[in-house]
Amino acid sequence: MTKKITLEFDESCLKESKRVPAKGKGRKGIYTHKTVTVNNPKAWEVIMVENSSTYMPGQRLNKKQVQTLCRGAGFDVVIGQPGQFRQHNSRY
C-alpha cells in the first residue's frame, strides 16, 4: 500500500522581520524593522496525508526532512507552489 503525502512550499517562511532598536543619541524606545533570512526554515507544509499517521496536515517540514521523504521509497511525494492545493489560509 503506497503512502501518499502532498506538500506545499511557502516562500514567506524563508525571511523573518526582526525589531531592532534604532541607533543614535536620544532615540530611546524607537525601533526599526529589519528583514533577515531564517536559518533552516520550515517552508514546506503538509497539506494531505494518506495511509500514514507519521505526518499530520498543517505540520511544517524543513529542507532535510523533505529530501529524506523524496529519497525514501515509503512515500509518494507531491510538492506544489503556494495556493496550489490550499486555496485559503484557514486550517479547518
Look at residue 92 in the predicted model and tell me its pLDDT.
46
Do the domain assignments include residue 24?
A: no
Q: Please give the average per-residue pLDDT across 5-24, as a whole number.
A: 87
The set of cell numbers assigned to 64 is: 532535510
Residue ranges of alpha helices (H) inside 1-92 are 63-71
Question: Mind listing the pLDDT tens digit for each residue in 30-85?
Answer: 888 999 999 999 989 998 899 888 899 989 999 999 999 999 888 899 888 776 66
Q: Are 85 and 7 within 8 A, CB to CB? A: no
Do the domain assignments include residue 71?
A: yes
Do the domain assignments include residue 89?
A: no
Do the domain assignments include residue 27?
A: no
Q: Which domain holds residue 65?
A: 3-13+41-80
Do the domain assignments include residue 26?
A: no
Do the domain assignments include residue 47?
A: yes
Query: Strand (E) positions, 1-92?
Result: 3-9, 15-21, 31-37, 44-50, 60-61, 75-80
* 15 has pLDDT over 80: yes
The structural domain count of the chain equals 1
The total of other beta-carbon atoms located within 10 Å of residue 20's CB is 11
What's the start-to-end Cα distance of the chain, in Å? Answer: 28
Do the domain assignments include residue 59?
A: yes
